[in-house]
Amino acid sequence: MVSSPPETEPALDLREATDADQPLLAELYRATRDDLAPLGDGAAVASLIAMQQRVHAEGRRRQFPGARQLLLYSDGRCVAQLVLDRAPRRLHLVDLAVLPEARGQGFGRALLRWAQRQAAEAGVPLDLRVRRDNHTARLLYLELGFRAGTGDEVFEPMRWEPAADAQAPP
């Protein structure tokens, strides 16, 4: 269930990720791998997650070489990551991850609204793919005006069009 948005969106303290941020990126990746939690937190699981993170990051760099990887800070601590790829006719939200302890505080919503503003300024749609079993994220995307497309059994493509959102009631 998507929680009600906070009265105001949190201020965005966005910074480009650098090589020095690898420990933060590893923490974000680990924190979002709920599917591996039943395996425990031993050294073997930590090694598996680290390997998967490297493969995931390398695949993302190959598929979206020009994507910007932004980190969101709140009170001096990294709480979320947004990876956004700009193409001539669209923006593609490659990845959005919020630390579990920071969820429900409006950070994901604020990042999505920021990405929507970037798309609107460029006059292009914003698209993404969401796991079909990620009901919370999916509901948030729908609430923010994204429309679902036809995907596969695992992922559902979604798109937000600036013109469609401008016609929607506030």
- Dihedral, CA of residue 42, residue 44, residue 45 and residue 47, to nearest 10: 120
Cβ atoms of 9 and 110 closer than 8 Å? yes
DSSP state of 144: T
How far is C-alpha 69 from the chain's CA centre? 10
For the stretch 75-123, pLDDT in tens is 888 999 999 999 889 999 999 999 888 989 999 999 999 999 999 999 9
* pLDDT for position 168: 46
Residue 10: which pLDDT band, with cuts at 50, 70 and 90?
low
Nearest Cα to Cα of residue 80 among 159, 14, 124? 14
For the stretch 53-62, pLDDT in tens is 888 888 888 9
Lowest mean pLDDT among 64-68, 113-117, 166-170: 166-170
* pLDDT for position 88: 87
* H-assigned helices in 5-125: 22-31, 43-63, 107-122
- Dihedral, CA of residue 155, residue 156, residue 161 and residue 162, to nearest 10: -60
Residue 169: which pLDDT band, with cuts at 50, 70 and 90?
very low
Residue 49: which pLDDT band, with cuts at 50, 70 and 90?
confident
Task: Pick 49 or 16 by higher pLDDT.
Answer: 16
* pLDDT for position 4: 42
What percentage of residues in the chain have a pLDDT greater than 90? 49
Global pTM reads: 0.82
Q: What HEC string does 101-140 produce?
A: HHCCCCHHHHHHHHHHHHHHHHCCCEEEEEECCCHHHHHH
* Six-digit token string for 31: 């924190």
For the stretch 143-163, pLDDT in tens is 999 999 987 889 999 999 998
Q: How far apart are the first and last CA of the chain?
A: 22
CA distance 17 to 62: 17
* pLDDT for position 165: 57
Residue 48: which pLDDT band, with cuts at 50, 70 and 90?
confident
